[in-house]
């Protein structure tokens, strides 16, 4: 148990650890977001704390006791808790490298079960809407910028703000769907590894955020992202990813990884803000912690940025091979023009439909319809937070312009890759091609090459080398800063059929 008696203090409470019990006394303070200046308010807060925390630790929160004055009158109230062993704190166990995989799975199951039992109401649902999320982020930006001494580099804060608002402004359909699916819950609100104890008969999750329900009404994924962020902050990113995947498993949550990254970033930035405030109180090490958390925020926002990747090039240039490799590595959704074209024509993808250039299912009208359908499907996916790779020749500048407009209105990052290969290699590839989706031969390849409009804004990818070399060059063009985080949290996504 550690020391038999200890006294700890927070900005809103005095905590007495005495033997096998813990007693929490609310301070008579008014901090704006809470007002404990009256005994009635403190009693109500104690009762609420016990009620809410019994959802996850019913045998720890024993009740509310009265504090009696010299004459026996009730002068205050306090929360009575069973004391937890310090060595079983999740944070302590993670720092010591002790095995916590099974407790994390149980924690994920407990949180998922609590979320499943959560009430739902328009008041709770509003907390998951885009404007509510925007307001939460903006409040943190305003608070950090209002500090007289800048702890964080203003350029980093500006970049965090840009990436944050860009994601939110383009993902309204995703956030609306989350509300409609009942994903906005009355959650815990403050999931920290320091407040979770891994006992032999199961975890105990303490210290729910009870004083402001608005901070507890949130997307369930946002709730668990707090602990994922904390695990990563403690140097355990693998455990963070494992924990999130467990929660997704128990809730059958279809959320795209971009939303995971967004909520982890938000939690990291809130902690960075708190560290900035502590630095003003001359808390040693808080400035360094704030900067590390800001970098963590930025890494996740970059990893969660929504990309529209155009992979183009003529027949035999290896564009489909590269596009498939990118989709597999990044977990992005892949849409292939040849598949869509044949689907629209009502034929199977591998069914031959060879025709001279501009004829049959490759005439101008069907080509326009194919690109329109590609971009239509891509728009729906981008709005839902799913990065997309479009595998097509992109020889027509008008089609590229349409893709640029799509990226702009969905607040997505447009990346253009143009595959090339030496003529001898493309000819060999076309000569040995059998049974694939594409019907192009050497004659069509030559015609397409002659009609390809200049594409100077595209990054040229030479596929004449190995697939892995071409893939690495393509990855560097898409989002180099986030490659490690993106692979850790990725979820494979491929086009149907």
- CATH value at residue 53: 3.30.200
Q: Which pair of tokens denotes residue 111?
A: 């949180």
Q: Is the model's pLDDT at 31 over the cut of 80?
A: no
Residue 494 inside a domain? The answer is: no
> Model confidence over 323-367: pLDDT tens digits?
999 999 999 999 999 999 999 999 988 887 788 887 888 899 999
Whether 322 and 293 map to the same domain: the answer is no
Whether 389 and 436 map to the same domain: the answer is yes
For the purposes of burial, counting CB atoms within 10 Å of the CB of 155, is it exposed (0-12), middle (13-18) or buried (19 or more)?
exposed
State residue 432's pLDDT score. Answer: 85
CB atoms within 10 A of CB 406: 20
Residue 244 inside a domain? The answer is: yes
Query: Can you list the alpha helix ranges (DSSP code H) found in 117-187?
Result: 122-125, 130-146, 154-170, 172-180
Rounded average pLDDT over 32-38: 84
pTM for the full model?
A: 0.89
Rounded average pLDDT over 285-305: 94
Q: Is the model's pLDDT at 80 over the cut of 70?
A: yes
Residue 497 inside a domain? The answer is: no
Residue 401 inside a domain? The answer is: yes
Q: How far apart are CA 314 and CA 47, in angstroms?
A: 69
CA within 13 Å, CB half, 305: 27
Q: Which residue, 179, 165, 253, 162, is CA-closest to 217?
A: 179
Q: Is the model's pLDDT at 495 over the cut of 80?
A: no
Q: Is the model's pLDDT at 48 over the cut of 60?
A: yes
Q: Which of 49, 67, 82 is the last residue of a domain?
A: 82
Angle between helices 364-383 and 172-180 (to 10 degrees): 60
Whether 317 and 436 map to the same domain: the answer is yes
Bridge partners of 217, per DSSP, are: 186
For the chain, what is the mean pLDDT?
A: 91
Q: Which of 62, 82, 102 is the last residue of a domain?
A: 82
Confidence of residue 489 (pLDDT cuts 50, 70, 90): low
Whether 294 and 311 map to the same domain: the answer is no
Residue 356 inside a domain? The answer is: yes
Rounded average pLDDT over 74-103: 96
Q: Is the model's pLDDT at 492 over the cut of 50?
A: no
Residue 119 inside a domain? The answer is: yes
Q: Residue 9 belongs to what H/E stretch?
A: strand 5-9
> Model confidence over 429-441: pLDDT tens digits?
888 877 778 867 8
Q: Which residue, 118, 108, 142, is CA-closest to 219?
A: 118
Whether 77 and 92 map to the same domain: the answer is no
Angle at 95 between CA 489 and CA 103, to 5 degrees: 65
Contact 119, 37 (CB under 8 A): no
Enclosing domain of residue 56:
5-82
Q: Residue 279 belongs to what H/E stretch?
A: helix 257-280
| Alpha-carbon dihedral sign for residues 93, 96, 100, 104 | positive
State residue 480's pLDDT score. Answer: 60
Could you give the number of structural domains in the chain?
Answer: 3
Rounded average pLDDT over 461-488: 78
Whether 299 and 314 map to the same domain: the answer is no
Whether 252 and 266 map to the same domain: the answer is yes
Rounded average pLDDT over 74-91: 95
State residue 360's pLDDT score. Answer: 83
369: domain CATH number? 3.40.50.300
State residue 5's pLDDT score. Answer: 83
Contact 298, 266 (CB under 8 A): no
State residue 183's pLDDT score. Answer: 98
Q: Is the model's pLDDT at 482 over the cut of 60?
A: no
Complete DSSP assignment for 116-135: HT----HHHHGGGSHHHHHH
Confidence of residue 179 (pLDDT cuts 50, 70, 90): very high
Whether 296 and 374 map to the same domain: the answer is no
State residue 1's pLDDT score. Answer: 45
Rounded average pLDDT over 303-318: 95
Rounded average pLDDT over 81-93: 96
Which residues are CB-neighbours of 67 under 8 A, at least 6 positions away?
Answer: 25, 74, 75, 76, 77, 78
State residue 490's pLDDT score. Answer: 55
| Alpha-carbon dihedral sign for residues 355, 357, 363, 366 | positive
Rama region for 439: left / alpha / beta (φ>0; ψ in -120 to 50; rest): alpha
Whether 96 and 42 map to the same domain: the answer is no
Count of helix runs (H) and strand runs (E) in the chain: 19, 14
Q: Is the model's pLDDT at 176 over the cut of 60?
A: yes
Reduce the DSSP state of residue 306 to 3 states and report it: coil
Q: How far apart are CA 422 and CA 42, in angstroms?
A: 77
Q: How far apart are CA 169 and CA 409, in angstroms?
A: 9
In eight-state DSSP terms, residue 38 is S
State residue 491's pLDDT score. Answer: 53
State residue 111's pLDDT score. Answer: 98
Reduce the DSSP state of residue 35 to 3 states and report it: strand
**What radius of gyration, in Å, describes the C-alpha atoms of the chain?**
28
Rounded average pLDDT over 51-76: 94
Q: Which pair of tokens denotes residue 454?
A: 């200049």
Q: How far apart are CA 57 and CA 320, in angstroms?
A: 53
Q: How far apart are CA 174 and CA 180, in angstroms?
A: 10
> Model confidence over 376-386: pLDDT tens digits?
999 999 999 99
CB atoms within 10 A of CB 212: 11
Q: Is the model's pLDDT at 478 over the cut of 70?
A: yes
> Model confidence over 184-193: pLDDT tens digits?
999 999 999 9
66 or 490: whose pLDDT is higher? 66
Rounded average pLDDT over 253-279: 93
Whether 321 and 294 map to the same domain: the answer is no
Q: How far apart are CA 268 and CA 233, in angstroms?
A: 8
State residue 195's pLDDT score. Answer: 96
Whether 311 and 297 map to the same domain: the answer is no
- Residue in the structure block whose two tokens are 């203090």: 9
**CA distance to 210, 238, 256, 407, per residue, from 486 (Å):** 34, 12, 12, 21
Reduce the DSSP state of residue 24 to 3 states and report it: strand
> Model confidence over 112-121: pLDDT tens digits?
999 999 999 9
Reduce the DSSP state of residue 307 to 3 states and report it: strand
Residue 496 inside a domain? The answer is: no
Q: Is the model's pLDDT at 302 over the cut of 90?
A: yes
CA within 13 Å, CB half, 238: 5
Whether 419 and 439 map to the same domain: the answer is yes
Residue 210 inside a domain? The answer is: yes
Residue ranges with strand state E in 287-420: 307-312, 333-336, 388-391, 413-420
Q: Which of 237, 269, 303 is the last residue of a domain?
A: 303
Rounded average pLDDT over 276-296: 86
Confidence of residue 3 (pLDDT cuts 50, 70, 90): low
112: domain CATH number? 3.90.1200.10
């Amino acid at each position: 148990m550690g020391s038999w008696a200890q006294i700890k203090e927070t900005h809103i409470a005095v905590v007495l650890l005495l033997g096998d019990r813990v007693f929490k006394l609310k301070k008579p303070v008014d901090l704006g977001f809470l007002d404990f200046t009256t005994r009635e308010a403190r009693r109500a807060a104690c009762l609420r704390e016990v009620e809410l925390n019994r959802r996850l630790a019913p045998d720890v929160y024993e009740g509310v006791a009265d504090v009696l004055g010299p004459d026996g009158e009730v002068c205050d109230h306090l929360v009575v808790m069973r004391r937890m062993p310090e060595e079983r704190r999740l944070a302590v166990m993670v720092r010591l490298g002790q095995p916590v995989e099974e407790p994390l799975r149980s924690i994920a199951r407990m949180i998922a079960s609590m979320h499943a039992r959560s009430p739902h109401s328009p008041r709770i649902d509003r907390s998951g809407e885009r404007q509510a999320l925007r307001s939460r982020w903006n409040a943190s930006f305003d608070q950090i910028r209002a500090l007289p001494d800048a702890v964080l580099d203003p350029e980093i804060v500006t970049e965090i703000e840009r990436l944050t608002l860009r994601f939110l402004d383009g993902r309204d359909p995703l956030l609306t769907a989350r509300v409609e699916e009942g994903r906005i819950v009355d959650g815990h609100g403050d999931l920290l590894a320091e407040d979770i104890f891994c006992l032999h008969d199961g975890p105990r999750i303490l210290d729910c955020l009870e004083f402001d329900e608005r901070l507890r009404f949130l997307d369930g994924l946002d709730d668990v992202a707090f602990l994922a962020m904390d695990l990563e902050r403690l140097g355990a990113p693998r455990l963070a990813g494992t924990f999130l995947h467990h929660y997704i498993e128990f809730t059958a949550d279809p959320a795209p990884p971009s939303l995971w990254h967004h909520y982890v970033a938000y939690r990291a930035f809130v902690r960075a803000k708190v560290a900035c405030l502590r630095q003003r109180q001359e808390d040693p090490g808080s400035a360094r912690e704030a900067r590390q958390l800001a970098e963590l925020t930025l890494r996740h926002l970059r990893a969660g940025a929504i990309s529209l990747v155009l992979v183009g090039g003529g027949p035999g240039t290896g564009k489909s091979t590269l596009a498939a490799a990118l989709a597999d590595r990044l977990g992005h959704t892949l849409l292939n023009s040849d598949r869509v074209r044949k689907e629209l024509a009502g034929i199977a993808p591998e069914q031959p439909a060879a025709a001279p250039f501009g004829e049959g299912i490759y005439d101008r009208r069907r080509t326009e319809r194919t690109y329109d359908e590609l971009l239509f499907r891509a728009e729906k996916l981008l709005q839902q937070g799913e990065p997309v790779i479009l595998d097509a020749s992109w020889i027509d500048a008008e089609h590229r312009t349409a893709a640029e407009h799509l990226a702009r209105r969905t607040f997505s990052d447009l990346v253009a890759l143009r595959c090339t290969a030496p003529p001898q290699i493309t000819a060999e590839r076309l000569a040995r091609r059998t049974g694939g989706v594409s019907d192009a031969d050497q004659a069509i390849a030559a015609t397409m090459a002659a009609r390809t409009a200049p594409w100077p804004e595209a990054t040229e990818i030479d596929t004449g080398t190995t697939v892995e070399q071409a893939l690495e060059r393509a990855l560097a063009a898409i989002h180099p800063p986030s490659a490690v985080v993106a692979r850790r949290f990725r979820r494979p996504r491929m086009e149907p059929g």
